[in-house]
Structure formats: C-alpha cells, structure tokens
Amino acid sequence: MTNFKLVGKLIYLSLVALHLLAPLTLAQGREVLVADVDGPVTPVMQSFIERAIEEADVRNAEALVVRLNTPGGSVDITKRIIQSMIAADVPVVVYVWPPGGFAASAGTFITLAGHAAAMAPNTSIGAASPIDASGQEIDETLRAKLENILVADIKGLAERRGEKAIEWAQEAITEAKAANEDEALELGVVDFVARDVDDLLEQMDGFRVEVNGVERALSTADADIDFIESTVLEDLLSVIASPQIALLLISIGGLAIVYEIINPGGYISGIIGAILLLIGLYGMGQLPVNYAGLALILLAFALFVAELFTHTFGALTTAGVVAFIAGALILFNTSEFAYEIPLPSIIGIPLSLAAVFGLGVRKVIQSRRTQPTTGQEGLIGATGVVRVPLEPRGSVFVWGERWNATSEDGQPIPAGEEVQVTGVDGFRLKVKKLMGGK
C-alpha cells in the first residue's frame, strides 16, 4: 500500500513539474518567420505572401516579418495582399529592407497595413500619387477620382498611427511625398528603424499590436528566426514577371518567328519563338502594362517583317527601331506602376534586332539574285558535250547525265562539240554551240 502511495505522489509531482515547465518550453520554442519580398507587386508576390501568412499561422509563429523592397504595382493585387494581412491570425511586420531599398507607390500601402512596420537605414517610403499611362500628369477630373479613392484607403490604414501619419499618408497620394527612415519614424509612419532582423526583434520585444481585434504583446527577444524560402516555380515566375526579362523574351521570341519566315521549313525556330513569345506575354500579363507601349513594340516587329518583302532600303527597319524604343519607354509606366527599363536595353535590343533583320534582308535579296543550282532551272547555262550528233536532235552529256537535246537554231552540231544549255522543255534540253568550241 505504501508503494502505491509513493508512486501516486511521484506521478502528481511530475504533472506539477510539467505544468510549471510548460511555459518555459513554449518560450524556448518561439519562432519568427521571415519572408523576403522583392520586385513589382504581381500575382506571384501575392501568392507568396499569402503562403507565408498561412505557414506562420500553422506553425504558431510569434510573428511574420515581410522584408519588402518594391517599386509598386497593381492596385487590385495590393488590396488583396492588404486584406490577407489584416485577416491574418499571426502578427505581420512589414520591414522595408535592404538598406538602399524602398517601398514606393503600392509598397506604401502594404507597409502601413502591417500590424507593425519598420525600415532599414537608407531606405525610403511614399511617392504614391497617380500618373497617366506615359508617366505624366493626368487631367484634373480623373486625378481627383483616383486620389479620393486612394486617400480614403491610405487614411484608413494610417488611422491608428496618429494625425501626423495620416497627414503624411494623404500627401504621399496628393503631392507624391516621400520620407526616409528617420522622417517616417518621427511621423509615426513606421514603428522602428532597425539595422537587421535581429535588431528589429530586440526592439519589438514587448511591443503591443492588435491582431483581429485582440491586443497582444510581442515576445521576440529570444525567438528563433526561420526563413520562408520561395519555391522553384515562384522563383521562375518572379523572373518571368520582371519587366526587363518579359521584354527580352518577347523580343527573342519575335526574332525567332521572323527567322522562321526568312528560312521556312525547319519549324524549330518558329516553335521556340512561339513558346518564348507566349512566356513573355504571360510575364507582361502579371504586370500593369501600358497597352500603347505594347502596341508600338508589336508594330516594330511588323515593320521588321515588312522590310523582308519590300524594297524600302532600310526605311521600315529604321521606323521599327523608333517604334520599339518608344514602346519600351512607356511600356511599364501606368497609373498603378512606374518602372524604367535600363536605357542600354531599350536601345540595344532593337538595334540588335535591326542588325539581324538587316542580315535576313540581305540573304533574301541574295537568294533572289542567285542563279539556281539545282533542278531544271539550274541546268540553264550549264555546259556539256554532244554524244549523238544533233541533226537537229540528238543527245548531250551534262552534269554527268545523258540528256536528249535539240539544237536551238536548228543547225546540226557534230559529236564531241561543247554546247551550252539555253532552255528546258520537259526532259529535252535546248542547246547552242559554244563560241570557241571544237
């Protein structure tokens, strides 16, 4: 009986010890997930952020840190990202990073939507005013409509950050205001300025946030850090959705298709070109595109192709280069997104295309001027030797074969004489005696 009592006491003490140690065990298991988000706001970015939030929730993470560096992007996609962040059951901290990075345009909205926000040194935020398709000012009526919608949205996101933050957020829309990290911290636009994630977690420890209406204090000082890696497919789609890569794929795809037109019959270049062109168009479909710019680029290819079938001596190719450059300059400048493709690419791609097309035109012209060397047409001008005297019919030996032949002028030509083919009538050659022959 005594042994049973002893065992019972040991079990009771063990349960008490487990109960007391449980908070320590949970504290030691705290983790913060970090997701790097870089580039334009696209469906690929939206999918990655949503997956990161879901994984952080499943793993019961203390917080999810989204390291953001973006020039902006689609307003509709930005709103969906914001909705996912607000509905998250885990605190989402938006950290503008790395040093030298920025959260421009749509990135400003995403930063303000975080349960907490931070910036790295030498970063910036803001400049979210609407522009037209060519990057210029838009008319007052349309501008007022766009601004009113965007101001209402951004004021709602900045409301909990105080009057200074609300005023600055509004001016970021109406006056394209921007701020560096120190200015943003002073205005209350962000909560922290941190050198890196470790510094951010130290500063956030004890910071109170509201998640789905419930206020909670972050406990991040000793949390483990784990990075959410993008999948191979996400990396591939992200590369394709890059403005410069999308333009390059369309250019190479169009070039391959035109090469197939110049040299028909192989089909390989045409198939590869069609694949690259479709992938490039998919990449552009992930970005806010100025369709006037896309139309100019397609017009450039049409002019390049037209050069192959006309005799404009390079005029259409020159026009194509101009159309391509103009299209590339405005292709990714819309009211939602402004991205400048590097000037060397804008100039280099069409000049390279023009050089290839010029070579293609030269080959086409040469092929039209070249005397045929095969088939019946190739026989004209060939020389041979009479085997059976032409009186006026007989036979000749041309290209290693015996042919029935007729004297062109009806005059007899004896055997052994050298003759030249002047025409082909079915399987009979018309020949004449070579001057200076035997």
Render the burial of 204-228: b for 16+ CB within 10 Å, e for the rest: beebebebeeeeeebbbeebeeeeb
Q: Find out whether 390 and 405 touch, Cβ atoms under 8 Å.
A: yes
Rounded distance between C-alpha atoms, residue 283 and residue 208, angstroms: 40
Token pair for 315: 């005029």
Q: 38, exposed or middle or buried, with CB in 10 Å at 0-12, 13-18, 19+?
A: middle
100 DSSP 8-state letter: T
Contact between 209 and 219 under an 8 Å Cβ cutoff? The reply is no
Strand partners, 214: 211
Cβ neighbours for 120, distance < 8 A, ≥ 6 positions apart = 95, 96, 97, 98, 99, 101, 181, 193, 194, 195, 196
Q: Residue 407: phi, psi to the nearest 5?
A: -65, 130
Question: Which residues belong to the active site?
Answer: 105, 145
3-state SS track over 228-249: CCCCHHHHHHHHHCCHHHHHHH
